[in-house]
Amino acid sequence: MATIKALLVGIDDYPADVARPLGGCANDIAEAGRLLADLAGGRADVRVLADAGATVAAVSDAVLEHLGSAGPGDTALLWFSGHGTQETATGDDLLIEATGRNQALVCVDGPLPDKRLGALLDRAAAGGARVVAVLDCCHSGGATRETELGVRYAPPRPGWDLGAEAARGPARHVLLAASRLNEPSYEGWFDGRPHGAFTHALVGAVRAAGPAATCRELLSAAAARVQRAGSTQHPVLWPDLPGGAADRPLLGGDVSGAHLLLRCGADGWEVDCGAAHGLREDGAEAGGTTFAALDEGPGRGVVRALEVSAARTLVAPVDWEPDPQRVYPVALSSVALPPASVTVDGPVDAVRDVRGALGPLVRAVDGPEAARGLHFRVRVGGGAARVLRRDGTEFTGPLPYAGPADAPRVADCLAHLTRWHRLRDLAPRRSLLDGLVELEITRWGSEEPLRPDASGDIVCAYGDDLRAPWVSIRLHNRSRDRTLWCVLLDLADDYSANTVLYPGHFIGPGHTGHALDGDPVHLSLPVSRPVVPGAEARDWLKLVVADRELSTLPFQLPALGAAGVGRVLGPVLGTSGRWTAVTVPLRTLVPGPVTGRGV
């Protein structure tokens, strides 16, 4: 049976030369211990480090020895409650710290830098265990408390070095943090005693949802509870890519599906997508957008949009009363904008089945003359369904079609293509944020930005030795006083979309965000395309800028293949909102006759 190796660290009694005392950290780890006992019982192997025992060396050693003893199938959990700190970043740290600040946990004798902690956690994961960190301290979103609500922040002391041991490469742990990396975290009185606002909220969320709830669901529920408690901090989940550690239960279990989430926030019920994801903005037209809860019975669990902002949609439940202590996975069930259109040709039964399988993103029309905007032609016959453009060229390879059971596959393909095109073409109205962040692409080792050619594309060619081009991609925040949240989407010509290059991060005024933390971006052709003269691949790099973080889940799309597509996660349909975006077409080619690929 899987074991839970837990390290609970709580520090209230700080020496005066390190930080001021706190009041709720011992209560935090005691409550976390009770939660583990209730959920895991004898499977939980818990070690506690408190106050004078929680030195940098003791915490570091316990992460490596105690958490590192967890093996495949086990869960290793670090729960830290105490002070956090930050200081100005310099040198290579600026490749990672786009806010210009380094963060650290504050142990009883000084700082444990976030990068060193991340490296320790990843070393603990080397034994095959799943590693989770819950950090309730200031600036904890950097991977690491102000009392009505008091802050858990310790000013850096002379001689503290917060930038040591930078971890490179993909993280092997998941982080649930009390606040953004540029924010304080708070503690106050809850249920008659002091606690960290985040710990109190997270423990409550776990108890309300049960052990099967995913980290994504728990973080969303805890963040809503923090808001309702009056705290201005914004809890963070990292990394939050779908289908990964974020979509497993806190104490271990199978990966669940990644969904949009409905929760009760400080302003009422809300869904975590908005205008920057393509929904129609507030006003009478917004009411045409609805979401359906995925775990409710037929005809129940619907919410209707009331007001759409850049990052979220305020909604009203329709004929049901959701529990404000829960979060609900939801899916788009109707949209306020005209969907894409499709004509279906083939046997009568196939036409009926495909038309009946269509979701809210695509509607059937009798002919292309009745369609405006994005339009598809589907031809069914000979054991296959072909998805064509207006001009008759194929979007993708034939989809197997043997009968009614294959109709949803065709509908999913059309929805996937619709989302990809809407996302690529998504353009906001004029915004106060326009022009504040510049996307710059240079050849690796050069400082000269690449410029578009006559067609508007930035072209990067393979070398004479058929070596793929390498580039650097940078995001420069040119504003004088705004810290801005940025995500860089890569929309490829295989109809995939991902945020791997720059997954979503705040960039401080005058600072620069570096794709892949400053490592080179390799612009190679997909493995399915031979590197021969004239071969090419196209990407559209879309920089989305906002004054608060957005859910990146609706931006994720797997590649579209002949065997079908992944589940469509959410809407990308229209324009508007308090945000901005810039799209840069990028073409990677092997010198020779140009073949070209339609999109």
What's the burial of 295, exposed, middle or buried (CB within 10 Å: 0-12/13-18/19+)?
A: exposed
pLDDT at 539: 95
Pairing mode, strands 101-107 and 110-113:
antiparallel
- Sign of the Cα pseudo-torsion (140, 144, 146, 150, in order): positive
Helix, strand or coil, per DSSP, at residue 185: coil
> Which CA distances in Å does 406 have to 343, 376, 573?
17, 18, 26
pLDDT at 570: 42
Same fold, 4-247 and 437-589: no
298, 288 contact by CB (below 8 A): no
pLDDT at 526: 87
Which residue pairs, CB below 8 angstroms and at least 24 apart, start in 361-367?
Answer: 361/332, 361/335, 361/414, 361/415, 361/418, 361/419, 361/568, 361/571, 361/573, 362/411, 362/414, 362/415, 362/418, 363/338, 363/339, 365/341, 367/343
Using CA atoms in the order 565, 364, 274, 457, what is the torsion angle rounded to 10 degrees? 70
Pairing mode, strands 375-381 and 340-345:
parallel
pLDDT at 240: 84
pLDDT at 540: 96
DSSP string, 255-308: -----EEEEEETTEEEES--GGGT---SSGGGGG-EEEETTS-TT--EEEEEEE
Could you tell me the end-to-end alpha-carbon distance of the chain, in angstroms, rounded to an integer?
50
From the candidate CATH numbers 2.60.40.10, 2.40.160.40, 2.40.50.140, 3.40.640.10, the one assigned to the domain spanning 437-589? 2.60.40.10
Could you tell me how many residues make up the chain?
Answer: 599
pLDDT at 289: 85
pLDDT at 465: 87
pLDDT at 546: 92
Q: Is domain 4-247 annotated with CATH 3.40.50.1460?
A: yes
Domain limits, the chain: 4-247, 260-334, 340-424, 437-589
From the candidate CATH numbers 2.60.120, 3.40.50, 1.20.1300, 1.10.260, the one assigned to the domain spanning 340-424? 3.40.50
CA 495 to chain centre: 19
pLDDT at 144: 33
Helices 197-209 and 215-228 meet at what angle, rounded to 10? 130
Low-confidence ranges of the chain (pLDDT < 50): 142-149, 166-167, 169, 562-577
Place of tokens 């917060």: 162
pLDDT at 303: 92
